[in-house]
Structure 1
Amino acid sequence: MNSTTTPVRVGLVGLSARGGWAPHSHVPALARLDGYELRALAASGEASARAAGEKYGVPLAFGSAADLVRSDEVDLVVVSVRVPLHREVILGALGAGKAVLSEWPLGNGLAEAEELAAAAEQAGVRTFAGLQARSAPAVRFVRDLVADGYVGEVLSTSLVASGRRWGPVFEPAGEYLLDRRNGGTMLTIPFGHTVDAVSMVLGEFTEVSATLATRRPVVREEGTGRRAAMTVDDQIAVSGRLESGAVASAHFRGGLSRGTNFHWEINGTDGDLVITGDSGHLQQAALTVRGARGADPAVRELPVPGRYFDVPALDDLRGLPAYNVGAQYARMLAGPAEGDAPVPDFTHALRRQRLLDAIERAAATGTRVALRQTP
């Protein structure tokens, strides 16, 4: 995208006056970037749209996504609604010839992702997938350490993390996340964001084995104690091999642990890296990088150099989920810096959803599943 003359006019689908993800991420990020203008929003009805427009100071408020995507005052449609609603909104935006940024996951399952990626290619417009963990300064720093040979040849990587949600208690607004049919699961959301960053740092998986389980089939609502069924897997154990030949393993657990909530090791012939954080949502987590190489007996903190915080307008958002969202918006506008991976598009999102589908097939069949390396 290019805004050398005028800002990119953004239409945000799913911005609510009641709160949610978009007000805590997209809104503050866009407000600080000169290359964008949050011009329009769409909510679940006209009254909701008016309330959100007044609260966030957005000039155009539409009662439906269909009205927003048809507006001549919108250049980029941002899709920040529940996963089952992605398909309809995205197809409408593509049909209107608009560029689209979709929150992750792209579609509710592989078939939808394939349909949306194909529709985007046919429409010939720019698309972006909200896999913002790869824009996090700490993740980019780790990628460069590995690429520069800090650990030597990577032998293996192992990761253990907590999903934060999908534990014994659920928030009322998050009940839809308990039903796997809705597509918003621990596998697709925190695991998907995190495995995308792991793949950026270390390369793609070429084969996977997996065990998935729902160990808490009944959970309780926060505050009321009401019981509800959960069909989403709250235990995810994946092992496999990467393009380099390195062995990888990852275990996600529902809820939060009293012990470790995010611990990622990269072990090589010459050194080790350890990345820790407060949850398995790598796209939002506060991360610490430690490392040791050669004769060093123990890992020590490796502060993330200032050059990775390369969007000064976002400095006051450091440590908040909005920072990585804003960093992705900035890269969408300017293009990646030298050495950076491109901003993920719908083709990339399809590759990532194929990995998740392979994990589910491996778990269902008890076999090792090979992955195609073409998107």
Structure 2
Amino acid sequence: MANEVTAQQIAEKVWNKESAFILDVRNESDFADWKIEGENLEYLNVPYFELIDGIEPILDKLPKNQDIFVVCAKEGSSKMVADMLEEAGVQASYLKGGMKSWSEYLRQTKVYEDSNMTVYQFVRIGKGCLSYMVISDGEALVVDPSRFVDQYVEVAKEAGAVITHVVDSHLHADHISGGILLSEKTGAAYYLMKSEGAVFDFNPLENYETIEFNQVKLEVLAVKTPGHTPGSVSFFVNDTLLFSGDTIFVSGLGRPDLGNKVREWANDLYETVSSKVSQIADDVIVLPGHYADLDEELNKQGYVGSTLGDIRKRNENMFQTTKEEFLHHVEQSASSVKPPNFEDIVALNRGERTADTERMQELEIGPNRCAVHHTD
């Protein structure tokens, strides 16, 4: 019988840029659309139904001295193939829970600490989604939480803190927010821009210049930064960190085409970049809401983020250009490929619909496409 491997174990290999071989037995279209990605991973995609009568045709395509992980959608097919490989004398493991578990794994890492606060980044490595927790003297604020809220509660508890504030930088289109659920579970105040159209009760960010908590006056300045969505905001913390949501990425800007108003929202994005963001110092650390390529955007400190100065240099044709050139570039970069199921996900995040856990898993399966707009 083959051994199982967890999403966490594979994630650590990806994070540490270790080599491994992925035998993905999903359909070719599913593999082409979304797979486990890593700098030193090798791949072979053969649909499991081609292996039902035996794995002999692929034996000579498998490495001899390398970890082999068999992957499918939910686990069953990969376990079958891994067992067949073991019987043939090939050591292999199957991904427990399949790509569903890969989609849901959150990796926690510390990104910043000083006498006033400690900041953790939570990387949803299978989706490219990033969320954060700011802890200060027994209280915690969570930025853009995923729906796996128990992990945030546990991290706060381990730090001796209580979650008192939850903020969403915008209405997410590629994953289901855990903001309301985390607020209900902890009693924390929940904040979102009213212009995003949510139908449940929340604290409208339009009413706040700052969100302060604790004796140390940890300031979270809500910088209105439309562009990705009309109500996108960023959060500027203690003049040190910028939680940029989907406005600024390490290697680009948020795509402004999800509302079918490309030029209008691109104009907003230009105003954001040329006026509001231009006032922020180069040494401020930008912590985005998504990434597109972990190999490119993971820094030497072990988290996804960079100084604003480095991002400006990396994306000169976005940060140092005329308005017409900017709008032209954005329009040319606009993608017809929307995040999978984005209309259903947006409806859930607005509170217009509900779904059980199984349905939420189905809706979220697939890649992140909110960070498609990059500056090459």
Same fold (TM over 0.5): no
Q: Which has the higher contact order (CA 8 A, sep 6+)?
A: 1
Report the TM-score when normalising by structure 1: 0.33
**Which protein is bigger by CA-based radius of gyration?**
2
Report the TM-score when normalising by structure 2: 0.33
